[in-house]
A and B are shown apart, each in its own frame.
Chain A
Amino acid sequence: MLPREHLEAILKSGKTDVVPVMPPFQGFWALDVAGLTTPQSFKDVSKTASAQLKVLEQCTFDGIEVLWDWLVPVEALGCKVDFPEKGNPITSENIVKSLEDVDKLEVPDIRKHARTVFDYEVAEALRDKIGRQHFTYITMPSPFTLAGELRGVESLLVDMMLNPADVHRLLKFTTEVLLEYLDLTVEKGFEAVFWCDPTASGDLISPDQFKEFSLPYLKVLSQKTKEKNLWVLVHICGDLLKGADRLKMIQDEVKPHLMSVDTAVDLLQAKQSMDATIILGNVSTTALLQDTPEKVYELSIDCVKKAGEDRFVLGAGCDIPVGSPPENVSAMIKAARA
């Protein structure tokens, strides 16, 4: 069986004969392993694609993200962005300075935004190269997380309490922008989108706020993604079981095919809460960065034991941290094959 067939099998039937492994987010880590800085990674499509391939030779994931520059919509919308040497570009200026600015926002022509075009070229190059063997996906923010980048997370959190109607207008806008990205993703023939909502973390907002500001918009994207016959993968950070069962809400409302959970989430409980969804998780990112391959192997085995083999994909609890030794990352894969 090809690596991608393991994932297809599990996505379709919930069962497969080996535990599939997805990072779930390896892009910036892999660039660093291959010696490419973040600014350099936006220069040459084939060099950037090769950097990912090089790492994939050593760490044979069944599926990988082929577009990892997930906050690219922030720049397309006109925010100033800083490019650190390693890791994600950082939003340095929020364009929604006051809530009146929400009405001035316009959906950009993303097909003319250089970084967006570049990112999709890299993604296509990678997909064309390895897509027959490996499952590939595009990583994108959720409307709520994108809104946080445009407004500033701290301001957005206060706005939710004081001016919820304005926040909903902003969320409708970010949803529209992300639907443009979905269109582009469909047009280019990709098979899956990983919608990520770190700002809706269980550690940050209340279950009611989650229900009101994150879920409905994620639901729109999920539905549209499914209408186009793409797989819907979702990642949200933090403990989604503390205080209220947010995982169940996600299954009921968003209905993703696969849900990726943070290390804080109990895998067994996650599988019970989402009894019709594939769960991906949740090897400690701290261990990947700081511990030994033996320790990562042990933690990975624990994950598999806890989750059981059905409806389960092994991966890290979030991004593979930049700087993690490749030996640690491959220990995760080794454990899944054990």
Chain B
Amino acid sequence: MEITFTPEEERFRARAREWIEANKPTDPPIENDLKARRDFDLAWQNKMYEAGWAGISWPKEYGGRGASLMEQLIWYEEFASAGAHEPSTLFVGLNHGGPTLIACGSEAQKSFHLPRILRGETVWCQGFSEPGAGSDLGGLSTRAVLDGDDLVVTGQKIWTSFANIAEFQELLVRTDPDAPKHKGISWVICPMDAKGIDIRPIRTMAGHQDFCEVFYDEVRIPRANVVGQINDGWRVAMSTLSFERGTAFLSEQVRLTRMVGELIELAKQTPLGGAAASAGDRTKRTIDDSDIGRRLAQMRAEVEALRAMTYRSVSRTARTGVPSSEASLIRIFFSELQQRVHALAMEILGPQILEWDADEQPITTALGTKRRRIRETWVFRWLLSFASTIAAGSKDIQRNIIGERVLGLPR
């Protein structure tokens, strides 16, 4: 049992830290300027690629770094600790689409798409959920009919982040309506500029517009874009989801630890009752309140335990070579902790949270463009945290997975 890293791993850490610190981009665009975010993320990705840091978990033969599990862990820790900009518009390509092609794609699919994803040339989005198929993803009904060398797709997808700035989509369609529901699905690469696609942004409760719904009206996609076999899409999709529950969440855990540190600082700086309170004891800091103090201490302990949990999970994966279903345990603990942390921020801040502008816009002044980034506000992060027990498998589904797959309870 060891909690330290080897000298070689520590050298890797030093190199990663040095490079990230020297190269991390500053001044990212505002939340709702999606076009600018796309350009910014692609440029950052390209910079990482040129320096040999792109695709940290991707095999070398596909242009990735082929880093060991420990190196991946170190990279994500350093990336998040440095507060480096997360290229979130590229998440699906780097962590879903790309890895799925690596696992199940044809040589032609791999050689076309993988370099483009890695070099920061294409944005991917996900077309899984539908209005009628959320937790019950297998019940999806967007249909695709084979017509010559094309699949003709008609239906609707929802919760598709960045659909309006993406080149490609990992799209699940029903190709055999008569088969049992998990047997009639295919996984297709959908070019987002195809005729018949209509994209409408959805505004979230946090005010931003990363989400879209996507409508398909007899969209023709070449049959060659099917990944794996026709009607084998469920298996292909599951290989994607296991990536999603793997190492890709490491850096958000490190960010949460940073967030708790920031929250402790916030409680030291904020008078009890909030800075904007007109009454109340202004001489007492929020951190001096015994209830707030204990809750912060509990959270500090919990983020530390989260790291230990992740280390144990990575240790297990390093032993067995496969991502473990225990990742669901971490996911539940992380997502609920994230919500508690942000809810406590609202209590610490008090009435000052009431003044907040969800409609962030660039404000042009004589001195240039002044921009307010809502992502840097506690209110935005708090509102965003509501998604963490819904996205990538709701907490209820995660608890089913733990109950059935980890504990072996009957369905």
- Is A bound to B? no
Interface residues of B (CB under 8 A from A): none
